Amino acid sequence: MTEVSILSLVKRYGDHAAIDAITLKVKQGEFVSLLGPSGCGKTTTLKCLAGFEEADDGRILFDGVDVSRLPPEQRDIGMVFQNYALFPHMNVAQNLAFGLEMRKVSRPEIKRRVDAALELVQLSGLGKRYPRELSGGQQQRVALARALVIEPKILLLDEPLANLDAKLRDEMRTFIRELQQRVGITTIYVTHDQAEAMTMSDKVVVMFAGRIAQADDPETIYDRPVNRAVAAFVGQANILSCTAPDPAGGATGLRTAGGAIPIPNALSDKNFTTIDIMARPEAIRIVAADDSRAHLTGRVVGRYFHGAFVDYRIALAENILTVQVPPPARFGEGETVGLVLDPARLWPLRDAG
Inside any domain, residue 97: yes
Over 80: is that where the pLDDT of 336 sits?
A: yes
pTM score over 0.85: yes
Inside any domain, residue 46: yes
Helix, strand or coil, per DSSP, at residue 191: strand
The sheet that has 203-208: what strands, in order across it?
A: 77-80, 154-158, 186-191, 31-35, 203-208, 211-216
Q: Which of 75, 89, 175, 182 is nearest to 130 (CA)?
A: 89
Q: Between the CA of residue 24 and those of 9, 170, 216, what are the distances in Å?
A: 9, 28, 11
Q: How far apart are the first and last CA of the chain?
A: 44
Same domain? 226 vs 290: no
What secondary structure does DSSP assign to 11-29, as a single string? EEETTEEEEEEEEEEE-TT
Count up the domains in the chain and report the number. 2
Same domain? 195 vs 344: no
Domain boundary among 231, 248, 283: 231
Domain boundary among 231, 248, 281: 231
Same domain? 264 vs 190: no
Compute the Cα dihedral for 35, 38, 42, 46 and give only its sign. Answer: positive
Same domain? 133 vs 281: no
DSSP annotation of 312 reads E
Which residues lie below 8 Å from residue 123, measured CB to CB, with a gap of 6+? 92, 138, 141, 142, 145
Same domain? 246 vs 214: no
Domain boundary among 231, 258, 274: 231
Question: pLDDT tens-digit profile of 63-85?
Answer: 999 999 999 989 999 999 888 88
Same domain? 73 vs 176: yes
Domain that holds residue 277: 236-348
Same domain? 193 vs 138: yes
CATH label of the domain that carries residue 242:
2.40.50.140
Same domain? 249 vs 266: yes
Q: How far apart are CA 103 and CA 324, in angstroms?
A: 54
Question: pLDDT tens-digit profile of 182-198?
Answer: 999 999 999 999 999 99
Same domain? 43 vs 87: yes
Inside any domain, residue 353: no
Check residue 94 and give its pLDDT: 94
Provide the pLDDT confidence category of residue 353 given band limits of 50, 70 and 90: very low
Q: Which of 41, 31, 52 is nearest to 9 (CA)?
A: 41
Q: Which of 300, 292, 297 is nearest to 330 (CA)?
A: 300
Same domain? 64 vs 175: yes
Same domain? 204 vs 253: no
Over 90: is that where the pLDDT of 199 sits?
A: yes
